[in-house]
Structure formats: C-alpha cells, structure tokens
Structure 1
Amino acid sequence: MRKVVSRDGTTIAYERLGDGPPLVLLNGAFRDHTIFDFLVPELTPHCTTYVYDRRGRGESGDSPDYAVTKEIEDLEAVIDAAGGEAVVFAGSCGANLALEAAMAGVPITKLALHEPFYRAEGYPKPPDDFMDTLRALLAHGKRDEAAEHFLANLMGLSPEVIADWRKGPLWATNEANAHTLLYDTAICGDFSVPANRLASVRTPTLVLNSDSTSDWLRAAARATAAALPNGWGMQLPGSWHRIETDILGRVLVGFTTT
C-alpha cells in the first residue's frame, strides 16, 4: 500500500486503482479498506479509486489522543494525494465523518453517503451511558463484549443476529478493530441529525439507502438529505445496511463522472 502522512504525523495507508476522476471511498465501523474489495472493480474502469485504512486499522498508524479533527485531516491527506480534490463515497459512521469533513471545508467536489448513523426525530438514541460502557469494556480488554455492545445498542441488532455474526469469518476483525469504536462513537456526536450545521454544506450530496434496511437507517438517510441544501435521496435494492454491489457501482460511476 502507498502511504501519506496526516497533519499530526500519523501514517495513513491507501491504495490507488483505476483511471478517471478521483473517487475516495471511506468505510464505517469495524472495517478497513478491504470492505470495498468487491466494489472497487465496478469503479476502476471509469474512476481512479482511493481506498484507505482509517487510523488505528490495517496498515495505518494511530495516535494516543484521538480527535475527530484528526480523522478529517486523514481524509484531507488522502484527497491531497488524489490531486487536491475528489468525490467521496462514505457509509455508516464514515458518512458522518465525511459530512464533518465537508463542514470543515475539506475539498470534496461531490459527496455520496450510505445510511449515516444519525437518529432522526422519533427514533431512540443509544443509551446515555453508551460511550462510558464501551470505554470501560475496552479498558478491561473485553473487545468481544465491546463489539457486541456496539452492535446491540447503537446498530440495534438482536441477540440472535449478533450470535450469527459471532460465527462468521469477520468476527475476528470486529474484535481486532474494537478500539476504534470509540472513534466512531465520537464522530456520531449526540446522534441527532445536525440540521442547522448541515445547512451550511453546499456540496452536491447523494444520500443512499437500501430498500430492506432498518427503519431508523432509512429515516436517517431521508432526514440527512432533507437537511442538505444540495442533497437528495435515492433508495436502491439491497439488504440490511447494504446495497447490491453492481447497482451501487453503476450509481457511483454515474455520480462521479457527470
């Protein structure tokens, strides 16, 4: 992987593939750049894709004192490597991070978001002690319990679904990256849709959701699109918190190249 140095000196690892206008892909909780392995081939005939490991994951470095501004600077460093401006596609709490970057003035030409982790009006937020519990579990080395806590109390998954996830091949990655759940929680703030702040974002923004996702994720996508002056929503075929890869690829190619 290639390397770029963020403003605080942290090394951020990224891959550059394809040819065409630059498109930076930004992942959400638990994952590193490999989450896009199936999507990238749909994009590279038309776009130059940049996928990177967020700090604390994969081949990227980290710092002992986390701040959301540092992750914004990481994204900006990757965009600098892409030529100084780029389209950004981001999902889950990565979508929250991308919006924070846009509000901070990072040179994002267009923004595509997949189901940001906000709670629209009428939908309950995670418990008030969510972050404290997460921090305590990680401090005691209970990485698996921290991952389960995040999935249950933030993402709303049932015990049965989490038990199935535990049996899958990605659970080891969930545990390995569990410390970064504190970062993702910080990015989400109080989980409200920050409508007043989003009103300042003039970046053309496409907000996507799956037709089979959770009600709270669908509502968050719609509320986010409504709060953005140049935002609009689109529902696409898929499953829970996932859009069919070929369809997502075609939408992102069209969005990036026109």
Structure 2
Amino acid sequence: MRKVVSQDGTTIAYEKAGDGPPIVLLNGAFRDHTIFDQLVPELAPHCTVYVYDRRGRGESGDSPGYAVEREIEDLVAVIGEAGGEAAVFGGSIGANLAVEAALAGAPITRLALHEPYYRVAGHRKPPADFMERLKAMLADDRRGEAAEYFLAELMELSPDTIAGWRRAPLWATNEANAHTLPYDTAICGDFEVPVERLAALRIPALVVNSDGTSDWLRDAARATAAALPEGRGMELPGSWHRIEMDVLGRVLAEFATT
C-alpha cells in the first residue's frame, strides 16, 4: 500500500485505482479498506478511487489520545494525495465521519453517505454509559465481549445474528479491530442528526439506504437527506445495511462525475 503522513505524524496506508475524478471511500466500524474490494472495480472505470485503512487498523498507524479531529486530518491527508479536493463516500459510521469532515471544512466536493448511524425520534439510542462500558471491556482485553456489546447495543443485532457473526470467518477481524470501537462511538457524538449544522453545508449530497435495511437506519438516512440543503435520498436494492455493489457503483460513479 501507499503511505501518507497525517498532520499528527501518523502514517496512513492507502490504495489508488482507476482514472477520472477522484473519490475517497470511508469504511465503518470493524473494517479496513478491504471492505471496498467489490466496489472499487465498479468505480475504477469512471473515477480515481482512493481507499485507506483508518487509523488503528490494517497497515495504518495510530496515536494515543484519540480525537475525531485526527481522523478528519487523516482524510484530508488522503484527499491531498488525490490532488487537494475530492468527492467522498462514507458507509455506515464512515458516513458519520464524512459528515463531520465536511462540516469541519475538509475539501470535499461531493458528499455521498450510506446509512449513517444516527437515531431519530421513535428509535432508542445506545445506553448513556455505552462508551464507559465498552472501554472497560477493552481495558480488560475482553475484545470479543466488546464486539458483541457494540453489535447488540449500537447496531441492534439480535443474539442469534450475533452468534452467526461469531461463527463467520470475519469474526477474527472484528476482535482484532475492537480497540477502534470507541473511535467509532466518539464519531457518532450524541447520535442525533446534526440538523442545524447540516443546514450550512452547501455541497451536493446523496444519502442512500437499502430497501432491506433496519427501520432505524432507513429513517436516519431519510432524515439526513432532508437536513442537507443540497441533499437527496435514494433507496436502492440490497439487504440489511448493504446495497448491491453493481448498483451502488453505478449510482456513485454518476454522482461523482456529473
């Protein structure tokens, strides 16, 4: 992988593919850049695609004293490698990070989001002591327990679904990256759609959700699209928290290049 040094000296590993207007992809909880292995080939004929390991994951470095501002600086460093400005697509909590970066003035030309982790009226938030309990589990090196807690309380997965996740090959990655779950929790803030702040964001924005996703994710996507002055929402075919890659690729390529 290629490397770029973020503002605080942390090395961020990234990959570049394709040709055309630049687009940077931001992954969500547990994952690194490989989550986009199926999406990159769909975008590369139309865009120059940048994917990277968020700090603390994969081949990227980390630093003590996490702050959301550092992750925004990481994204800006990658955008710098892309020529100084780019479209950004954030999936899952990566969508929350993309929103925070845009609001902080990162050089984002177009903002595409997939099911950000907000809670709107009628849907419960994680417990008030969620972060405290999560950090306590990680301090005791109870990575598997921390991952399960995150899936249950933040992602609202059932015990049977979580048990299925534990049996899947990716579970080892979930535990390996569990130390970054407080990072993702911090990015979510109070879990409210930042309606007043979004009102000042004057860039083209697209918020997509799957037609098979959870009610809380669908409602969050719609509320986010409605709060963005130049935003629009779109429901696409897929399953829980996942859109069919060929469809998502076509939609993102059109959005990033027009």
Do residues 71 (structure 1) and 79 (structure 2) align?
Answer: no
Q: Aligned partners of 1:121 and 1:223: how far apart in 2? A: 10
Alignment of 1:234-253 (within 5 A): 234-253=234-253
Q: 4+ residue stretches of structure 1 with deviation over 6 A?
A: none
Aligned-pair CA distance for 1:157: 0.0
Match of 1:136 in 2: 136
Unmatched 5+ residue regions in structure 2? none
Residues 1:147 and 2:147 are matched in the alignment: yes
In the alignment, the residues of structure 2 paired with residue 6 and residue 120 of structure 1 have an alpha-carbon distance, to the nearest angstrom, of 34
Instruction: Quote the residue 2:170 is aligned against.
Output: 170
**Separation in 2 of the partners of 1:137 and 1:155?**
18
- Report the TM-score, using the length of structure 1 for normalisation: 0.99
Following TM superposition, by how much is the alpha carbon of 1:197 offset from its aligned partner in structure 2, in angstroms? 1.0
Shift of 1:203: 1.4
Shift of 1:48: 0.5
Inter-partner Cα distance in structure 1 for 2:200 and 2:137: 37
Partner residue, 1:91: 91
Task: Report the Cα distance in structure 2 between the residues aligned to 1:200 and 1:119, rounded to whole angstroms.
Answer: 21
Give the superposition deviation at 1:122.
Answer: 1.7
User: Does residue 229 of structure 1 match 2:229?
Assistant: yes
- Structure 2 counterpart SS, 1:12: strand
- Local SS of the residue matching 2:55: coil
2:188 corresponds in structure 1 to: 188
Q: Distance in 1 between matches of 2:72 and 2:222?
A: 24
- Match status 1:102 vs 2:102: yes
Unaligned runs of 5+ in 1: none
Q: Could you give the per-residue CA deviations for residues 165-223 of structure 1, whole angstroms, max 9, x where no partner exists?
A: 00001000000000000000000001011111111111111000000000000000000
Other structure's SS at 1:184 match? helix
Cα distance between partner residues in 1 of 2:145 and 2:204: 39
Identity %: 76
TM-score for both structures, normalised by structure 2:
0.99
CA RMSD of aligned residues (A): 0.5
User: Number of matched residues?
Assistant: 258
Inter-partner Cα distance in structure 1 for 2:203 and 2:95: 14
Partner secondary structure for residue 24 of structure 1 = strand
